[in-house]
Amino acid sequence: MILSLLVIFFICRTAWSQQVFSDQVVHIEEDDFMPYTRGEVIKTFVGDYNNLMEEMCTIISSWDSINPPKGFRVDFSSIHSTMLEITFSAYIKEYDERIVKRGPVLYMSINNPSEIFGTPIITDIFLQPAKVSDFYGYPVYQNVRRKVTVIMEKDVTLSVPVTREEYLNELLNADENHGPDGSGSYSGDDVLVEMEKAYRALLKIDQAEAAEFKTGMDNYRSDLAQQKLEGDPEDLHTSLIKELEKLSPEERKSPAYYALGAMDQYGNLSGLLPSGHEEEGEALVRINPVLKNMVGNTTTFELLVISWYLGKSNDSDDNPRLYSDGNKGFMLADYHMAELFKQQDLWNKIFDLLKN
């Protein structure tokens, strides 16, 4: 009898402790945090997938760590009709008011295959995402922006290959139709401007690769200066035409492989790797037309693409599996987002929505 009473006491004490909230302030560095305050859950949806988003939010909201949240706010919102964005934001106190600063984000994209591939190299041509791990039985891919988990019951390949000829023609078409001002071909200086943009974007993703790219960019700048001394350098259009003409019929029809360093190492402006050097880069692909047919389908839930952002304090900000920064200050929100990653039962319920 005494043992039973003790068990009941400890169960109740645990439940009581989980429900204790206060507005106590904890000062960390330059901010006053409120890690014990009772948090809010806010939902704002727009678009054709409202009901589906509501179902996913109901599943996630059943998690006891956000039912209710403690010390942080949870925002469920649709940034556009196909993307559910879930944000955890730690509470701080400023001028006697409780406010939040935007924290880690979970992105859940519905029936939108372009999210698998990230930013295109040109028009609808992408670098082939590389599989890097698994998430409860589903593949995780690395694209040019971040890691993404692909949840799909249909057994189809994600992409179709692009040939060297297709890629070069796409570059030529874009150059003819656009150019730097929308009406002509890119000059060498225009190419440098675009390379600078690519370099700054790459710095945010991979500093080591950015350093390698900068070396090639600096070499191109030197070559361009030398060409100007010797006479007018070729514009991009002329250079691409010559690169296409040098390819044999077999090379034109072979799969295209791309690498940033190819421009410097092999003296081209396309970034294409020559035959026999494919292992130095990534395949160029287009989205499988079967996946494209999913776009705009509001009657059937066919594809879910998940990605994470845990903030700049974490070296692997798109991989909650590796989170280890604790739960103090702003990290309280990151910590709970990383814990949400581990809730397999919740995720299985979300995955089941695709099977219904």
- pLDDT per residue as tens digits for the range 56-114: 999 999 999 999 999 999 999 987 789 999 999 999 999 999 999 889 999 999 999 99
Is 106 within 8 Å of 297 (Cβ atoms)?
no
Reference 332, options 70, 45, 154, 83; nearest CA is 70
Reference 129, options 282, 257, 279, 232; nearest CA is 282
DSSP SS3 for 114: helix
The region, left, alpha or beta by phi > 0 then psi within -120 to 50, assigned to residue 310 is: alpha
Residue-wise over 214-226: b if at least 16 C-beta within 10 A, else e?
bebbeebbeebee
Within 32-73, residue ranges assigned H as helices are 50-61
Reference 112, options 143, 86, 156, 150; nearest CA is 150
Reported for 153-156, long-range contacts at CB under 8 A and 24+ positions apart, including other chains, are: 153/302, 153/354, 153/355, 154/290, 154/302, 156/288, 156/290, 156/291
pLDDT, tens digit, 9 for 90 and up, residues 236-262: 788 899 999 999 999 999 999 999 788
Reference 25, options 15, 41, 36, 14; nearest CA is 36
At a CB cut-off of 8 Å and minimum separation 6, what does 100 contact? Answer: 72, 73, 89, 90, 91, 92
DSSP SS3 for 162: coil
The most distant pair of C-alpha atoms in the chain lies apart, rounded to whole Å, by 98
pLDDT classification of 46: cutoffs 50, 70, 90 = confident
Q: Higher model confidence: residue 205 or residue 329?
A: 329
| Mean pLDDT computed over 282-300 | 94
pLDDT of residue 181: 46
CA angle, 31 then 35 then 39, to 5°: 115
Provide DSSP, 310-324.
Answer: --TTSTTTT-GGG--
pLDDT of residue 196: 74
Q: How far apart are CA 7 and CA 10, in angstroms?
A: 5
352 pLDDT above the threshold of 90: yes
Percentage, residues of the chain above pLDDT 70: 81
Q: 213 is written with which tokens?
A: 């790219």
